[in-house]
Structure 1
Amino acid sequence: MVSANPSRSGRGGDASQNDFETLKRLIHGKLVDKLDLSRLGDLEGDTLRREIRLVVEHLCDTENPLLNRAERERLIEEVLDETFGFGPLEILLKEEGIADIMINGPKHVFIEKNGRIQRSPVTFRDNDHLMQVLDRIVSKVGRRVDETQPMCDARLPDGSRVNAIIPPLALDGPSLTIRRFGSNPLTLEDLLRFGAFTPEMVMLLEGASKARLNILVSGGTGSGKTTLLNTLSSFIAPDHRVITIEDAAELQLQQEHVLRLETRPPNIEGKGQVSATDLVKNALRMRPDRIIIGECRGPEALDMLQAMNTGHEGSLTTIHANTPRDAVSRLETMISMGGIELPLRALRHQFASAVDLIIQANRLQGGPRKVTHITEVVGMEGDAVIMQDIFLFIQDGIDEDGKAYGHFESTGVRPSFMDRLEQAGVRLPSNLFSQRTLGY
């Protein structure tokens, strides 16, 4: 029996916290010894947790009957989290409003909440404890992280994106970066309420999706590209066959007829890798109505453009870029990285023929995320891709809380693809594109 009583000083003193951790490890070890895996295998998740909880409660009462109610409940929950979940991470994953979790070794955990980064009191015992949690995360999606492959992309059951890097590359211990995607993705109404765009902009995006325009979502890290992609996909007709291609599956499409594909890293022998380029080529043989690439990162960009040009209208993808013009340059660079030597003019012509609309998402100072440009790709003039802005967000300043604010504008430009929208049965108000400031 552990004689220390952590309840007397809560989390305040180091000695008390050490006693608590010692007791927790002891109970967790005895729980593992008591588990009858052959019998538990027949139980469902909730039933199994209830059964194990009874065992943990009995062990708590046996090992330290002096625990007060709050400490006893905390101990039980943490042992259950160690057994079924992701240990100390579970506390942060259950907390509403956390956008990112950044773990810089076992003792330095930071979160982003309400647009601000702050340190969390949550810690791990040591590097081994953090590695156990990390192994549990990556093994659930058939991946691994070890000295031979010290970097890894994975995902949590709710779709949240996980990137991990471990020693010897990470000098201060295993490091995890988790981009949260809740089990209930943000809806169109949520984004309108947050002021990410205006109803007028939504009308255009809905019409463009229904008319099967090819759309490129551009933006920096954390700007909301994946959320925008999910929102745009809600406009896709339910009878369309959609194929998604991602490095780590995180899109949460609402359609019934969705086939999700995920890349695969090489095995321990350096073989068996399946790249996004391989999946795009295979997807073209699977009778897709639309192809959605979670993010273009490399040579698959050319395959995506060719797919858009060869009968797979209405396809969507995202790219890391700060402006619509930068997005063109980024695509050119990525295609060149694949060793494909195309004349610059031919490559730009391919882009101009394939992409109809660029949606630029940016994360402004203080955290607000806005659609700052909706830009039409008009065509080519000489060696240059011609684009025109339809809607813009203009930043007016920074408020007293350090957050950027501004307003949306319609530039007065009427898109050249309006005939395609009308042929698809999309009717937009005649004054939608008149030059003015938009409210939201």
Structure 2
Amino acid sequence: MTTEFVERVRHRLAGQSRGADPITLAEAVRAEAGGALSHDAVLDAVRQAQDEFLGVGPLATLLDDETVTDVLVTAPDEVWIDGPAGLARTAVRFADEDAVRRLAQRLALAAGRRLDDAQPYVDGWLPAPRGRLRVHAVLPPIAADGTCLSLRVLRPATYDLDALRRRRVFDEAGARILRTVVEHRLAFLVTGGTGAGKTTLLSALLGVVDPGERIVCVEDAGELRPTHPQFVSLVARPANVEGAGAVDLPELVRQALRMRPDRLVVGEVRGGEVCSLLNALNTGHEGGACTLHANSPAEVPARLEALAALGGLGREALHSQLAAAVRVVLHMRRTSVGRALTEVAVLQRYHGEVRAVAVWREGQWTARRALFTDLVRDEACA
């Protein structure tokens, strides 16, 4: 369909009180075509109209692929996907820049957000058939070369430890370390970059928690779905179009503490909620966990310093609380052959500062293995 024909169909639909369902679309297409289209051509035009007016448009086929984690539109003829093999360009094309802009604005509206010249960027959430969809879009002139649209598919993390071992995320020795961390109620962080598998590993670890323990989990997107009989999920709520009604992670952490958790879990710390989490882990909630964006375990203290500053916690206080609250760092990395657990580190305090000391790396124990052994022994005797 040409842009002019699309606009005629759009105006016809706008003048009707009925929704843009497939039957209504077909009638509008036939009416605007004036009988000039064959039956097959009408069906093809309806399919294109559905792409234009409903759902995620021509990106639907890409998001239906369960291996796709991100869909990135940088130009009408540049649509990329991210999956197990990394970024790859697709054959999907938009008619023009206006088509990309219309899709971005429609998705923003569906997410309860505003996207126009006065508010040229947006970040929001949408439900998806098998999870949730994070929508981010930027309009010109902020996006100098045209509308940029980024969709991230957040599917529930449902793998267990045995499934991850079969997928070679870690070997048998790594599985034993992970089970030891959970069984001895060692508070831990799962770190790594974007798409490294942090949430998947955390969900698998929660699945081996004693069924008699109550897990209360706080998240932005509700990704964690461990197989556990006492898993309670609290999901943050963004503000509406009017800027009201937001429920953020720090508030949810405070609410979670009133729900009698045996283990408190934060899906990912991105800001001041790290202060609430550390406070909780220092008040008898052993075995807690969260994920954190970090390039390596060694960078974790500095990363937490920056986040804690957002919550008003100073550097010295952060290191003091971190040393008492968190024991182990599990680092995930995205490699050429897939996602893998590449390092296990123990947090140790040296002259007032917390440092992450690697005890297991790339499938081998390091010379500091005794730190992990002593930590497990001390927890067992506590």
1:310 aligns with 2:268: no
- 2:207–2:226: 8 Å Cα contact kept in structure 1? yes
Shift of 1:103: 1.2
Shift of 1:419: 3.6
Deviates more, 1:304-313 or 1:383-392: 383-392
1:151 aligns with 2:122: yes
Deviation digits for residues 35-90 of structure 1 (CA, Å, limit 9, x no counterpart)? 755xx9xxxxxxx87x779869988998455365xx66554444444454211121
- 1:163–1:176: 8 Å Cα contact kept in structure 2? yes
2:165 corresponds to which residue?
192
From the superposition, tell whether residues 249 and 133 of structure 1 become closer, same or farther in structure 2 (CA, over 3 Å). Answer: farther
Alpha-carbon distance in structure 1 between the residues aligned to 2:265 and 2:246: 21
Alpha-carbon distance in structure 2 between the residues aligned to 1:232 and 1:64: 61
Aligned residues: 375
1:116 aligns with 2:89: no
- 1:324–1:358: 8 Å Cα contact kept in structure 2? yes
1:327 aligns with 2:300: yes
Instruction: Give the residue type in structure 1 aligned to 2:361.
Output: L
1:93-172 pair list within 5 angstroms? 93-146=63-116, 147-148=118-119, 150-157=121-128, 158-172=131-145
From the superposition, tell whether residues 240 and 165 of structure 1 become closer, same or farther in structure 2 (CA, over 3 Å). Answer: farther
Instruction: Give the residue type in structure 2 aligned to 1:359.
Output: L
From the superposition, tell whether residues 357 and 27 of structure 1 become closer, same or farther in structure 2 (CA, over 3 Å). Answer: same
- 1:289–1:312: 8 Å Cα contact kept in structure 2? yes
- 1:144–1:152: 8 Å Cα contact kept in structure 2? no
Alpha-carbon distance in structure 1 between the residues aligned to 2:53 and 2:211: 40
5+ long unaligned stretches in structure 2: none
Shift of 1:224: 1.9
Deviation digits for residues 243-296 of structure 1 (CA, Å, limit 9, x no counterpart)? 33333443344445422221424864x665543223322322333333322221
1:35-54 pair list within 5 angstroms? 36=18
- 2:29–2:46: 8 Å Cα contact kept in structure 1? yes
Shift of 1:23: 5.9
Alpha-carbon distance in structure 1 between the residues aligned to 2:27 and 2:324: 64
- 1:208–1:421: 8 Å Cα contact kept in structure 2? no
Deviates more, 1:26-35 or 1:169-178: 26-35
Deviation digits for residues 294-351 of structure 1 (CA, Å, limit 9, x no counterpart)? 2212222121111111122222211121111201111012212434335x2x421211
1:293-308 pair list within 5 angstroms? 293-308=266-281
For 1:330, what is the secondary structure of its paired residue?
A: helix
Deviation digits for residues 148-197 of structure 1 (CA, Å, limit 9, x no counterpart)? 37231424422243333334432233322223334675554443233221
- 1:156–1:162: 8 Å Cα contact kept in structure 2? no
- 2:157–2:199: 8 Å Cα contact kept in structure 1? no
**Percent identity of equivalent pairs:** 29
Instruction: Give the residue type in structure 1 aligned to 2:366.
Output: T
1:234 aligns with 2:207: yes
Q: CA RMSD in A?
A: 3.7
Instruction: Give the residue type in structure 1 aligned to 2:349.
Output: M
1:261 aligns with 2:235: yes
Alpha-carbon distance in structure 2 between the residues aligned to 1:200 and 1:356: 19
1:290 aligns with 2:263: yes
Which of 315, 318, 323 lines up with 1:352 in the alignment? 323
